[in-house]
Amino acid sequence: MKNNNKPPFETTTLWDYPTQNYGNRPHGDNKYRGVTPAFVIWNLIQRYTKEGDLVVDPMCGSGTTIDVCKEEKRRVLGFDIVPYRKDIKQADARRLPLNDEIADFVFIDSPYSDNIRYNDHPDNIGNVSCENPRFFEELDKVVKEAHRILKKGKHIAWLIGDQAKKKKFVPVGFKMYSILEKYFKPVDIVCVARHNQTSNTPIWHQRAKKCNFYLRGFKYLIIMQKIK
Ligand SMILES: C[S@@+](CC[C@H](N)C(=O)[O-])C[C@H]1O[C@@H](n2cnc3c(N)ncnc32)[C@H](O)[C@@H]1O
Protein backbone atom coordinates (compact mmCIF):
# COMPACT_ATOMS: atom_id res chain seq x y z
CA MET A 1 0.00 0.00 0.00
CA LYS A 2 1.42 3.41 -1.01
CA ASN A 3 0.56 7.12 -0.81
CA ASN A 4 -1.38 7.37 2.48
CA ASN A 5 -3.04 3.99 2.21
CA LYS A 6 -4.09 4.51 -1.42
CA PRO A 7 -4.02 1.37 -3.59
CA PRO A 8 -1.22 0.85 -6.13
CA PHE A 9 -1.95 2.39 -9.55
CA GLU A 10 -2.37 -0.60 -11.89
CA THR A 11 -0.26 -0.85 -15.05
CA THR A 12 -1.12 -4.42 -16.13
CA THR A 13 -4.31 -6.34 -16.91
CA LEU A 14 -4.00 -8.62 -13.86
CA TRP A 15 -5.40 -7.10 -10.67
CA ASP A 16 -5.14 -9.13 -7.49
CA TYR A 17 -6.14 -7.66 -4.15
CA PRO A 18 -5.84 -9.38 -0.75
CA THR A 19 -8.88 -7.64 0.73
CA GLN A 20 -12.08 -5.84 -0.37
CA ASN A 21 -11.04 -2.55 1.19
CA TYR A 22 -8.00 -0.26 1.40
CA GLY A 23 -7.13 2.46 3.90
CA ASN A 24 -8.72 3.10 7.28
CA ARG A 25 -12.27 3.91 6.21
CA PRO A 26 -14.90 1.54 4.81
CA HIS A 27 -15.73 1.70 1.08
CA GLY A 28 -19.05 -0.10 0.71
CA ASP A 29 -19.79 -2.89 3.17
CA ASN A 30 -17.56 -5.95 3.02
CA LYS A 31 -20.36 -7.94 4.67
CA TYR A 32 -22.57 -7.32 1.61
CA ARG A 33 -22.48 -10.47 -0.52
CA GLY A 34 -21.14 -9.60 -3.94
CA VAL A 35 -19.44 -6.39 -2.76
CA THR A 36 -16.93 -4.96 -5.26
CA PRO A 37 -13.25 -4.65 -4.29
CA ALA A 38 -12.82 -0.91 -3.63
CA PHE A 39 -9.38 -1.08 -5.31
CA VAL A 40 -11.07 -1.77 -8.67
CA ILE A 41 -13.17 1.40 -8.58
CA TRP A 42 -10.25 3.48 -7.28
CA ASN A 43 -8.06 2.41 -10.19
CA LEU A 44 -10.76 2.96 -12.81
CA ILE A 45 -11.55 6.50 -11.71
CA GLN A 46 -7.86 7.44 -11.63
CA ARG A 47 -7.56 6.53 -15.30
CA TYR A 48 -10.92 7.52 -16.75
CA THR A 49 -12.08 10.52 -14.70
CA LYS A 50 -10.81 13.71 -13.10
CA GLU A 51 -11.91 15.66 -10.01
CA GLY A 52 -15.44 17.03 -10.37
CA ASP A 53 -16.48 14.47 -13.01
CA LEU A 54 -19.80 12.65 -12.57
CA VAL A 55 -19.61 8.88 -11.98
CA VAL A 56 -22.81 6.78 -12.13
CA ASP A 57 -23.25 3.29 -10.69
CA PRO A 58 -26.72 1.95 -11.67
CA MET A 59 -26.38 -1.27 -9.57
CA CYS A 60 -24.67 0.22 -6.56
CA GLY A 61 -25.22 -2.53 -3.92
CA SER A 62 -23.61 -1.49 -0.64
CA GLY A 63 -22.27 1.80 -2.07
CA THR A 64 -18.58 1.09 -2.73
CA THR A 65 -18.57 3.37 -5.78
CA ILE A 66 -20.11 6.23 -3.77
CA ASP A 67 -17.52 6.01 -0.99
CA VAL A 68 -14.51 5.77 -3.29
CA CYS A 69 -15.71 8.58 -5.57
CA LYS A 70 -16.51 10.99 -2.73
CA GLU A 71 -13.08 10.49 -1.20
CA GLU A 72 -11.48 11.10 -4.61
CA LYS A 73 -13.56 14.28 -5.15
CA ARG A 74 -15.69 12.93 -7.97
CA ARG A 75 -19.41 13.65 -8.09
CA VAL A 76 -21.32 10.37 -7.88
CA LEU A 77 -24.84 8.95 -8.22
CA GLY A 78 -25.61 5.42 -7.04
CA PHE A 79 -28.82 3.53 -7.80
CA ASP A 80 -30.09 0.09 -6.86
CA ILE A 81 -33.37 -1.79 -7.19
CA VAL A 82 -33.30 -2.12 -3.38
CA PRO A 83 -31.14 0.62 -1.83
CA TYR A 84 -28.92 -0.59 1.00
CA ARG A 85 -28.34 2.89 2.44
CA LYS A 86 -29.93 6.34 2.35
CA ASP A 87 -27.52 7.89 -0.17
CA ILE A 88 -28.41 5.22 -2.77
CA LYS A 89 -31.45 6.11 -4.88
CA GLN A 90 -34.10 3.54 -5.75
CA ALA A 91 -34.22 2.93 -9.50
CA ASP A 92 -34.17 0.19 -12.07
CA ALA A 93 -30.89 0.18 -13.99
CA ARG A 94 -32.94 -0.27 -17.20
CA ARG A 95 -34.76 3.06 -16.60
CA LEU A 96 -32.59 5.59 -14.81
CA PRO A 97 -34.06 8.98 -13.79
CA LEU A 98 -31.24 10.80 -15.59
CA ASN A 99 -30.92 12.95 -18.72
CA ASP A 100 -29.03 11.77 -21.80
CA GLU A 101 -25.25 12.10 -21.88
CA ILE A 102 -24.63 13.45 -18.39
CA ALA A 103 -22.17 10.89 -16.97
CA ASP A 104 -18.39 11.02 -17.34
CA PHE A 105 -17.98 7.40 -16.28
CA VAL A 106 -20.28 4.43 -15.58
CA PHE A 107 -19.27 1.53 -13.36
CA ILE A 108 -21.41 -1.63 -13.07
CA ASP A 109 -20.76 -4.79 -11.07
CA SER A 110 -23.90 -6.64 -12.10
CA PRO A 111 -25.30 -9.96 -10.92
CA TYR A 112 -23.82 -12.71 -13.09
CA SER A 113 -26.58 -15.23 -12.48
CA ASP A 114 -28.95 -16.09 -9.63
CA ASN A 115 -26.10 -17.35 -7.41
CA ILE A 116 -26.50 -14.56 -4.80
CA ARG A 117 -29.89 -13.67 -3.34
CA TYR A 118 -29.57 -9.88 -3.12
CA ASN A 119 -33.29 -9.29 -2.51
CA ASP A 120 -36.74 -10.50 -3.58
CA HIS A 121 -37.67 -7.44 -5.64
CA PRO A 122 -39.46 -8.67 -8.82
CA ASP A 123 -37.18 -6.48 -10.98
CA ASN A 124 -33.95 -7.79 -9.44
CA ILE A 125 -32.06 -9.24 -12.43
CA GLY A 126 -30.05 -11.32 -9.95
CA ASN A 127 -33.10 -13.53 -9.50
CA VAL A 128 -32.83 -14.75 -13.12
CA SER A 129 -30.38 -17.56 -13.93
CA CYS A 130 -27.74 -16.94 -16.62
CA GLU A 131 -28.95 -20.23 -18.14
CA ASN A 132 -32.16 -18.39 -19.04
CA PRO A 133 -31.78 -16.22 -22.19
CA ARG A 134 -33.88 -13.55 -20.44
CA PHE A 135 -30.93 -12.83 -18.14
CA PHE A 136 -28.89 -11.45 -21.06
CA GLU A 137 -31.90 -9.69 -22.60
CA GLU A 138 -32.36 -7.75 -19.35
CA LEU A 139 -28.65 -6.92 -19.08
CA ASP A 140 -28.76 -5.71 -22.69
CA LYS A 141 -31.34 -3.13 -21.54
CA VAL A 142 -29.00 -2.05 -18.73
CA VAL A 143 -26.16 -1.59 -21.24
CA LYS A 144 -28.42 0.43 -23.55
CA GLU A 145 -29.42 2.69 -20.66
CA ALA A 146 -25.79 3.16 -19.58
CA HIS A 147 -24.98 4.14 -23.17
CA ARG A 148 -27.80 6.70 -23.13
CA ILE A 149 -26.60 8.48 -19.98
CA LEU A 150 -22.86 8.43 -20.82
CA LYS A 151 -21.22 11.37 -22.63
CA LYS A 152 -19.55 10.70 -25.99
CA GLY A 153 -15.88 9.75 -25.69
CA LYS A 154 -16.32 8.59 -22.07
CA HIS A 155 -15.87 5.12 -20.59
CA ILE A 156 -17.85 2.31 -19.00
CA ALA A 157 -16.41 -0.57 -16.95
CA TRP A 158 -18.36 -3.77 -16.24
CA LEU A 159 -17.28 -6.41 -13.71
CA ILE A 160 -18.67 -9.91 -14.25
CA GLY A 161 -17.83 -13.59 -13.68
CA ASP A 162 -18.62 -16.87 -15.42
CA GLN A 163 -20.81 -19.64 -14.04
CA ALA A 164 -19.90 -23.34 -13.80
CA LYS A 165 -22.67 -25.17 -12.00
CA LYS A 166 -23.67 -28.82 -12.02
CA LYS A 167 -21.37 -29.57 -14.95
CA LYS A 168 -22.86 -26.76 -17.04
CA PHE A 169 -20.53 -23.91 -17.97
CA VAL A 170 -21.94 -20.53 -19.04
CA PRO A 171 -19.32 -18.06 -20.39
CA VAL A 172 -21.15 -15.08 -18.88
CA GLY A 173 -18.14 -12.78 -19.36
CA PHE A 174 -17.88 -13.49 -23.11
CA LYS A 175 -21.62 -13.06 -23.56
CA MET A 176 -21.50 -9.75 -21.71
CA TYR A 177 -18.56 -8.62 -23.85
CA SER A 178 -20.55 -9.23 -27.03
CA ILE A 179 -23.55 -7.29 -25.68
CA LEU A 180 -21.35 -4.34 -24.67
CA GLU A 181 -19.65 -4.40 -28.07
CA LYS A 182 -23.01 -3.71 -29.77
CA TYR A 183 -23.02 -0.25 -28.17
CA PHE A 184 -19.42 0.59 -27.31
CA LYS A 185 -15.85 0.40 -28.62
CA PRO A 186 -13.71 -2.16 -26.72
CA VAL A 187 -10.80 -0.68 -24.80
CA ASP A 188 -9.45 -3.56 -22.69
CA ILE A 189 -10.23 -6.53 -20.46
CA VAL A 190 -8.72 -6.83 -16.99
CA CYS A 191 -8.64 -10.07 -15.02
CA VAL A 192 -9.58 -9.43 -11.36
CA ALA A 193 -8.54 -12.30 -9.08
CA ARG A 194 -11.26 -13.58 -6.77
CA HIS A 195 -10.67 -14.23 -3.07
CA ASN A 196 -12.79 -15.19 -0.09
CA GLN A 197 -15.61 -16.59 -2.17
CA THR A 198 -17.66 -19.27 -0.43
CA SER A 199 -16.21 -22.03 -2.63
CA ASN A 200 -12.63 -21.32 -1.53
CA THR A 201 -12.69 -24.14 1.03
CA PRO A 202 -10.88 -27.53 1.16
CA ILE A 203 -14.12 -29.41 0.47
CA TRP A 204 -14.77 -27.44 -2.74
CA HIS A 205 -11.17 -27.87 -3.92
CA GLN A 206 -11.55 -31.62 -3.31
CA ARG A 207 -14.82 -31.69 -5.30
CA ALA A 208 -13.23 -29.72 -8.17
CA LYS A 209 -10.47 -32.32 -8.39
CA LYS A 210 -12.69 -35.36 -8.02
CA CYS A 211 -15.48 -34.22 -10.37
CA ASN A 212 -13.12 -32.63 -12.92
CA PHE A 213 -14.23 -28.99 -12.93
CA TYR A 214 -12.52 -25.69 -12.06
CA LEU A 215 -13.53 -23.30 -9.32
CA ARG A 216 -13.87 -19.68 -10.46
CA GLY A 217 -10.56 -17.85 -9.89
CA PHE A 218 -11.22 -14.50 -11.56
CA LYS A 219 -13.74 -12.01 -12.87
CA TYR A 220 -13.62 -10.01 -16.09
CA LEU A 221 -13.42 -6.25 -15.91
CA ILE A 222 -14.54 -5.15 -19.37
CA ILE A 223 -13.67 -1.55 -20.28
CA MET A 224 -15.29 0.16 -23.26
CA GLN A 225 -15.74 3.66 -24.68
CA LYS A 226 -18.76 5.45 -26.10
CA ILE A 227 -17.92 6.57 -29.63
CA LYS A 228 -21.38 7.36 -31.04
C1 LIG B 1 -22.82 -7.37 -7.43
S2 LIG B 1 -24.03 -6.38 -6.62
C3 LIG B 1 -23.26 -4.79 -6.64
C4 LIG B 1 -22.21 -4.65 -5.59
C5 LIG B 1 -21.75 -3.22 -5.34
N6 LIG B 1 -20.92 -2.72 -6.43
C7 LIG B 1 -21.04 -3.11 -4.02
O8 LIG B 1 -19.81 -2.89 -4.01
O9 LIG B 1 -21.67 -3.32 -2.98
C10 LIG B 1 -25.31 -6.23 -7.83
C11 LIG B 1 -26.46 -5.35 -7.42
O12 LIG B 1 -27.37 -5.24 -8.53
C13 LIG B 1 -28.63 -4.92 -7.98
N14 LIG B 1 -29.67 -5.06 -9.01
C15 LIG B 1 -30.21 -6.19 -9.52
N16 LIG B 1 -31.15 -5.90 -10.45
C17 LIG B 1 -31.21 -4.55 -10.54
C18 LIG B 1 -31.96 -3.65 -11.35
N19 LIG B 1 -32.88 -4.08 -12.21
N20 LIG B 1 -31.73 -2.32 -11.20
C21 LIG B 1 -30.83 -1.85 -10.29
N22 LIG B 1 -30.09 -2.67 -9.49
C23 LIG B 1 -30.27 -4.00 -9.63
C24 LIG B 1 -28.75 -5.85 -6.80
O25 LIG B 1 -29.73 -5.40 -5.88
C26 LIG B 1 -27.31 -5.82 -6.24
O27 LIG B 1 -27.19 -4.89 -5.19
Q: Is 193 in the pocket of ligand 1 (CB under 6 A)?
A: no
Q: Is 26 in the pocket of ligand 1 (CB under 6 A)?
A: no
Are residues 179 and 222 in contact, defined by beta-carbon separation less than 8 angstroms? no
Domains and CATH numbers, the chain: 14-225 (3.40.50.150)
Residue among 19, 38, 14 nearest 191 (CA)? 14
Ligand 1, from 31, 60, 172, 194: best to mutate by most atoms within 8 Å of Cβ?
A: 60
Exposure b/e, 164-175, CB count within 10 A at least 16 = b: eeeeeebebbeb
Q: Is 145 in the pocket of ligand 1 (CB under 6 A)?
A: no
Judged against a pLDDT cut of 60, whether residue 2 lies above it is answered with no
For the CA of 124, the nearest atom of ligand 1: 16
pLDDT grade, residue 1 (50/70/90)? Answer: very low
Question: In the chain, what are the helix, strand and coil shares in percent, each to the nearest 5?
Answer: 25, 25, 50
Q: Is 106 in the pocket of ligand 1 (CB under 6 A)?
A: no
Q: Is 127 in the pocket of ligand 1 (CB under 6 A)?
A: no
Q: Is 64 in the pocket of ligand 1 (CB under 6 A)?
A: yes
Q: How far is the CA of 3 from the centre of ligand 1 (A)?
A: 31
Instruction: Tell me the per-residue pLDDT of 86-96, one tens digit each, with 9 for 90 and over.
Output: 999 999 999 99
Mean pLDDT of 50-66: 98
What is the C-alpha separation between 10 and 31, in angstroms, rounded?
A: 26
Are residues 155 and 187 in contact, defined by beta-carbon separation less than 8 angstroms? yes
What average pLDDT does the structure give for the chain? Answer: 95
Q: Is 128 in the pocket of ligand 1 (CB under 6 A)?
A: no
What pTM was computed for the model? 0.96
Please state whether beta strands 14-15 and 218-225 pair in parallel, antiparallel, or not at all (unpaired): unpaired
Q: How far is the CA of 213 from the centre of ligand 1 (A)?
A: 28
pLDDT grade, residue 196 (50/70/90)? Answer: low
Angle between helices 38-48 and 64-71 (to 10 degrees): 50
